[in-house]
Structure 1
Amino acid sequence: MTLFRLILLTLACICTGFFAQAEISDVRIVGNGEPTRITVWSDTAQDAGAFLAQSGGQRSLIVPLEGEISPRVGKGAGGVETWALSSGRLSFALDRPLMVSRVLNLPPTGSATSYRVIIDLETVSPARFASTAKRDMQRLARAESDSRKATYALAAAEITPPGPLRPSERKGDHKYVIVVDAGHGGKDPGTQSARGLLERDVTLKAALYLKDILEKDDRYVVRLTRDDDTFIELEDRVTLARNWGADLFISLHADAAGSPDVAGASVYTISERGERRIDKEADKNDWKIPVETGASKAISGILVDLVKRETKSHSAAFAELLLPELAAAGPVLRGTHRNAGFYVLLAPDVPAVLLEMGFLTNTADAKRLQSTAGRARTMQAVKRGIDKFFDRQEVIVASD
């Protein structure tokens, strides 16, 4: 199962049941504002965004969604007073200024059949809320306008699904292509520990070990962006992954902090700010997403947008599956799943994460990452996360 197959399934749903009504099975809110988490369960995939709004003295959070729920109203928690669904908008009345720190659209995991939208909120100042709400209302208007245009275009067109997106599209016993990127290298040593342990050496040893254990599983083909102490430009790392037909890209790093007490692993996926760089860098580096040559410009744009959205969704899904495995293998940082605009996360059609394996500025983390056993535990956790990711993808395809 690959990203391309899921996009075809999405297109099939659009084309054969465009006006079918989705169902939202549950809305739950937990937390105290530091943070608060909203989780929405749906029987279909969502591409939800979250937008702050302010009118008079009333603050709210608006989440455009496809679907219906009964009852259509509910009580909140942690700064959310109530919620209500109306006209394709799930609205949350807020009793304090809250900021959206993260939105995840996740497919089913394990034996579950529901898709999830996760929205994390944190308390901010009234002034920051007001400023963000003003901007968000403009963003919401544009998003809803674009959605209407896409709906009309898809409903009016005869859509031919795009051709294969990448060489890695599974046929018969074709294997999943995993690209492992050892961060830094050569003239770029990265960070270092108090005793001189270099990040470039830690990441290379970890990448070589991960390649070894992955290749013992006949489902995978593994490519390394570097297998020695060589410097590779960031754009070349992404280009290599696309040229190799990567189904998953993992960039390995070790972190640094001003305080020696900060420790633990963390996982990054693309941030909203990073997403705004994708098209520019794709044009610059010729990272084209192939679509049906006969498709109109409007339909081609919709198909390309679907690929980018699915890529983001799969990156987040892999991160969420990886985190529990990392936590079982060693310390993890608070707020372990983070968002950033790192260059290696900018491929428009390759699910990607950047893994900070620990802090070289922390004595225990540095000792763990310097040791063969410590690196092995972390990379074995990564292998388990990869297995769960592709196991789940195959279950989704089989059920569809």
Structure 2
Amino acid sequence: MTLLRLVFLVIAFAGGGFAASADISRVQVVGNGEPTRITVWADSEQEGRAFLAQSDEARSLIVPIQGDVTPAAGDGRGGVATWALSEGTLSFALDRPLMVARVLALPPAGNEPSHRIIIDLQAVSDARFSSVAKRDMRKLASYQDNRRKSELAAELAALRPDAPLPASSRVSEKTYTVVIDAGHGGKDPGAMAITGGREKDITLRAALTLKKILESDPRYTVRLTRDTDVYVDHEVRVSMARDWGANLFISLHADAAGSRTVSGASVYTISASGERRIDKEANRNNWRIPLEDGAPQRVSSILEDLVKRETKTRSSEFAEMLLPELEKSGPVLRNTHREAGFYVLLAPDVPAVLLEMGFLTNREDAKRLQSEQGIRKAMSAVKRGIDRFFDKQDILMAGQEANG
């Protein structure tokens, strides 16, 4: 019995219905092969990876799944004969040679409350399918191995959150520049803590702690917008990040509320109103997106829009990867991922988030953020979120290089 057949026989059962699942709520297959689209709805973020596989005469598409699931199966169409869901894997049995044209991992948006994976398939020759499947099976084995290493590292970090963090699991040797922005400073003290102390001092200690943690991993080059008690204009902070070629920008803050019972961390990414300010501020500060010289204006405009759209998507992806790690280190707000038009989020080409580490108007939050252990625990969580974000970038780039 082949491995692919075994996957389907172990978990398949009659009927096209879908059993209740912890993470996957729906699977839909539409089309006729020219193209065929698979859409997967999930309650939690998914990476959006897809691999072709072949064994004897059996062809399949393998989609790794994050989180616990209830086994289920169903029928497909347009070249997809059946699908089957098991722990860690969503498998599609193919009755003809199809190739992945694109894969999208989309966060909740508008009236769509779920995360989604969208996979478009197109018909190819037998020879082309076999060639791609052979390569994909090697990539799948490598991906699964790296995922196991990442899960082990996360488990160890959860058991000992204050211990030195190991270097993240690496798919490539690429290094990344992370810019850490300690909010406020100098003439701008920020919020005042109920226990005494100022936001500008707390954010600076947090930034220095995160810098030290990140620099223990050779993967990262770390820059600070300030490392002393000085005030830096918002546009200068963004310009610094762009001049340094930042791959990620994190602005650290501590919140305040009218009620002393409000507590917990939250993460902000750019809002729709903030997006409308990007072009104005980019023109005012000469934040030019580097494009190939000589491109027609119409083409340049399209490329610039794509860059800004991708930047927003990656900012949201990082926020969603950061939140589960923050939950391990302390309280978070109910609506934890929020949107706003903060100036430090306006860079057109640098993924950016603003992290509110907690409420200085809440006694427990203030104590936590003013203790060395509490700050290290929170910044260790941020480091794990950063690792997850760049692990995904490594995998995507590895796939692009293989396809190239």
User: Contact (CA 8 Å) 1:25, 1:42: kept in 2 or not?
Assistant: no
Aligned residue for 2:364, secondary structure, equals helix
Q: How do residues 1-400 of structure 1 correspond to structure 2 at under 5 angstroms? A: 21=35, 23-27=37-41, 115-119=105-109, 121=111, 175-400=175-400
Using the alignment, how far apart are the partners of 2:308 and 2:274 within structure 1? Answer: 12
Aligned residue for 2:109, secondary structure, equals strand
Assess, with a 3 A threshold, how the Cα gap between structure 1 residues 331 and 21 changes in structure 2: closer, same or farther: same
Aligned residue for 2:39, secondary structure, equals strand
Using the alignment, how far apart are the partners of 2:332 and 2:348 within structure 1? Answer: 28
Using the alignment, how far apart are the partners of 1:175 and 1:347 within structure 2? Answer: 21
Please list the CA deviations of residues 240-293 of structure 1 after superposition, one character each: whole Å capped at 9, or x if unmatched.
Answer: 000011000000000000000000000000000000000000000000001111
User: Contact (CA 8 Å) 2:254, 2:356: kept in 1 or not?
Assistant: yes
Using the alignment, how far apart are the partners of 2:330 and 2:107 within structure 1? Answer: 28
Larger radius of gyration: 2
Letter paired with 2:322: L
Using the alignment, how far apart are the partners of 2:182 and 2:299 within structure 1? Answer: 38
Assess, with a 3 A threshold, how the Cα gap between structure 1 residues 261 and 310 changes in structure 2: closer, same or farther: same
User: Which ranges in structure 2 are unaligned for 5 or more consecutive residues?
Assistant: 1-33, 51-75, 79-101, 113-171
Letter paired with 1:176: Y
Instruction: Give 1:207 deviation, angstroms.
Output: 0.1
Instruction: Give 1:215 deviation, angstroms.
Output: 0.4
What CA RMSD, in Å, does the superposition of the two structures yield over aligned residues? 2.8
Assess, with a 3 A threshold, how the Cα gap between structure 1 residues 27 and 375 changes in structure 2: closer, same or farther: closer
Using the alignment, how far apart are the partners of 2:47 and 2:199 within structure 1? Answer: 40
Match of 2:13?
none
Letter paired with 1:372: E
User: Contact (CA 8 Å) 1:26, 1:41: kept in 2 or not?
Assistant: no
Using the alignment, how far apart are the partners of 1:24 and 1:314 within structure 2? Answer: 23
Assess, with a 3 A threshold, how the Cα gap between structure 1 residues 298 and 213 changes in structure 2: closer, same or farther: same
Assess, with a 3 A threshold, how the Cα gap between structure 1 residues 218 and 280 changes in structure 2: closer, same or farther: same
Using the alignment, how far apart are the partners of 1:270 and 1:22 within structure 2? Answer: 33
Please list the CA deviations of residues 291-333 of structure 1 after superposition, one character each: whole Å capped at 9, or x if unmatched.
Answer: 1111100001111111101100100000000000000110000
Assess, with a 3 A threshold, how the Cα gap between structure 1 residues 298 and 22 changes in structure 2: closer, same or farther: farther
User: Contact (CA 8 Å) 1:26, 1:40: kept in 2 or not?
Assistant: no
Using the alignment, how far apart are the partners of 2:191 and 2:306 within structure 1? Answer: 37
Higher relative contact order (CA 8 A, sep 6+): 1
User: Contact (CA 8 Å) 1:274, 1:346: kept in 2 or not?
Assistant: yes
Aligned residue for 2:188, secondary structure, equals coil
Letter paired with 2:346: L
Using the alignment, how far apart are the partners of 1:319 and 1:392 within structure 2? Answer: 13
Using the alignment, how far apart are the partners of 1:70 and 1:119 within structure 2? Answer: 27
Aligned residues: 262
Please list the CA deviations of residues 335-379 of structure 1 after superposition, one character each: whole Å capped at 9, or x if unmatched.
Answer: 100000000000000000000000000000000000000000000
Match of 2:119?
none
Aligned residue for 2:276, secondary structure, equals helix
User: Contact (CA 8 Å) 1:24, 1:41: kept in 2 or not?
Assistant: no
Aligned residue for 1:257, secondary structure, equals coil
User: Contact (CA 8 Å) 1:23, 1:43: kept in 2 or not?
Assistant: no
Using the alignment, how far apart are the partners of 2:391 and 2:48 within structure 1? Answer: 21
Aligned residue for 1:238, secondary structure, equals helix
Assess, with a 3 A threshold, how the Cα gap between structure 1 residues 42 and 373 changes in structure 2: closer, same or farther: closer
Using the alignment, how far apart are the partners of 1:207 and 1:250 within structure 2? Answer: 9
Match of 2:122?
none
Instruction: Give 1:115 deviation, angstroms.
Output: 1.6
Return the TM-score normalized by structure 2.
0.61
Assess, with a 3 A threshold, how the Cα gap between structure 1 residues 324 and 120 changes in structure 2: closer, same or farther: farther
Aligned residue for 1:252, secondary structure, equals strand
Using the alignment, how far apart are the partners of 1:336 and 1:370 within structure 2? Answer: 22
Letter paired with 2:310: E
Instruction: Give 1:26 deviation, angstroms.
Output: 2.9
Letter paired with 1:365: D
Instruction: Give 1:25 deviation, angstroms.
Output: 2.1
Using the alignment, how far apart are the partners of 1:366 and 1:213 within structure 2? Answer: 22
User: Contact (CA 8 Å) 1:189, 1:200: kept in 2 or not?
Assistant: yes
Using the alignment, how far apart are the partners of 1:317 and 1:382 within structure 2? Answer: 14
User: Contact (CA 8 Å) 1:26, 1:42: kept in 2 or not?
Assistant: no
Instruction: Give 1:175 deviation, angstroms.
Output: 2.3
Match of 1:164?
none
